[in-house]
Structure formats: C-alpha cells, structure tokens
Homo-oligomer: A and B are copies of this chain.
Amino acid sequence: MTEAEFLARLRTLPLHPGARGLTDDTALVAGLILTTDTLVEGVHFLANDPPQDVAWKLVATNLSDLAAKGARVEGVLLNLPLTDSRWDATFVDGLAAVLSAHECPLIGGDTVSLPAGAPRVLTCTAIGADAPAPPRSGAKAGDGLWVTGTIGDAGAGLTVARAGEGPADLLARYRRPTARLAEGRALAPLVHAMMDVSDGLLIDAGRMAAASGLAVTIDLARIPLSTALRAHAPDPLAAATAGDDYELLFACADAPPVPATRIGSFAPGSGLALIHDGQPVPLPPRLGFEHGLR
C-alpha cells in the first residue's frame, strides 16, 4: 500500500471537523493548532547523526508548521525511545537547546523501550494557540510570492554532512533549522496564503498555486541565497529544489512587515513557470520531495 492509498483509507474513518479531511499539515481543535511528525532512524536521520541535532530537528520542524499558521507556541509532547545512555543524554541536551531557542515548553509524552537493534522512532506533537491560520489555498491573482530568509542552505548542508567536510554555516542550516515563529505571527494576519518550505521551494510554491487555483511564476534570479551558499554552490535551481529550508513562503499584495524577498507572482491560470532575468527557464525534472521520505 502506498502512503496515498493508506491516507485514502484513513479518510474513510470518522474525521474531526478540525482534521480538514487530512489534507493539511495541521489540525484545529478547540482553538488549538496541532501538528505531529515522526522521525525514523535510517529513514529521516542516520544512526551516526549527532543526537542533539536529531532532537533539534524533531522539534524545530514541527514548530515550523506552527509558524506557518502564525501560532503562539504552547509546547510539545514527545514520544521517545530509551536507547543507550550516552545517546539519550546527548539527545536531551539537544532538546534543551531547541526548546530554549524557540521558548517552547515540554507538555508531556511517553518513553518506551525498543527491541535490541531496532531503529529509533521519535515523535513530536506540537501545540499552538491564537493562530490566524492562513490557508495555503488563499493566494489571489496579482499577489506577490514572498519567502523569508535564504533558500538552499540546508540542501547544501546535507551535501556537506554526507561529504564530512564543507562550510559549517551550511551544515548548521541543515542540522539546526530555526522555525520562523516571530515572522509567522507577524505575517499570518496579513497574508492571503502561507506555508513553510519543507519539500523544496518550487514544489511547495506549485502546491500553493494549485491549492489557490492560480498560476505562479518564480524568478530564479530573485531567489535569496546566503553569502555562504553563493561562495559554495551558487545554483538557484538546486537551491529551489533541495528542501528542508523551513522558511515561510507566502502570498500577499503589499510589502510584508518582516524581512522577506519577493520571488514571484500569482496570475490567473494554473501551473508553475520559471524565469531568469525575464527569460523563460524550463522546469527541472524534479521540483522537490514528493513525500516525507527523507
């Protein structure tokens, strides 16, 4: 059974109205925003990844989903395996760092033993409140497409991690993404559509356009690249398809109140188009990650 088939079966179950048909990364229950993700060793992270970075990513990627809804963070529930003492202790150090960096308290959770040799499986459920929750489907023709921060650093950081050498700045963006909580709260009441960039800028922008029933054009020359990335691997197309950025992508008519870059625009029609300095650029064969299988 594929993930799509499994989800189709789950959609036949009685669904909460706040589940929104299981089509969104978050659910809304009694005014709270809920999101949950599970990380699996060997699938989403490697056995020799630093445990403190696994902790960081587990929490920060969930908080990024709250940021995209403009939520205030209530806290997280964590379901954690008891494994070896050194790994577990270092993991808790990473939890302390990521919770502190995002001013996020621990609400509760569960700890379990695993059979010997089993891959670690870790779950975080993040809870937010007071979320304006702009949909990803609300972009309007004429809106600009904007993105916070810089794109592609995490993707280059993954290459650095695999190679075992390269710029530390890029590695840090891969291993320790920061959820854009403050930006999300400032933007959410003002924008027409918002989501976080997790699977890749192009695929996520295409999803926003499709959900909004519009066409979107992105100017590759405008994609914001960090100084470190410009020095290391200055390919905007690679940056825009790498994913793991955890920046906020949003549609709005006016200049936003937080630092962000206008990289494109929405128009009547459908589909994603690329330009570079005004010239059309063919779409790459792969726009980003189709699934969460990273």
Task: Name A's B-contacting residues (CB within 8 A).
Answer: 1-3, 6-7, 9-10, 12-16, 18-19, 22, 24, 26-27, 29-32, 34-44, 74-75, 77-82, 85, 88-89, 92, 95-96, 99-100, 104-115, 118-119, 121, 123, 125, 127, 129, 292-293
**A293: B residues at CB distance < 8 A:** 113
From residue A183, how far is it (CB to closest CB) to chain B in Å? 22
User: 23 A-B residue contacts at CB 8 Å?
Assistant: A1-B89, A3-B111, A6-B80, A6-B88, A12-B96, A13-B95, A13-B99, A16-B106, A22-B106, A29-B107, A32-B32, A34-B77, A34-B108, A34-B127, A36-B77, A38-B79, A38-B123, A39-B112, A40-B113, A40-B114, A112-B121, A115-B119, A118-B118
Choose one: B1, B38, B40, B42; the contact of A88 (CB below 8 Å): B1
CB of A36 within 8 A of CB of B118, answer no
**A12: B residues at CB distance < 8 A:** 92, 96
- The CA of A14 and the CA of B75, in the complex, are separated in Å by 10
Given A112-B43, A115-B119, A123-B123, is A29 in contact with B26 using a C-beta cutoff of 8 Å?
Answer: no
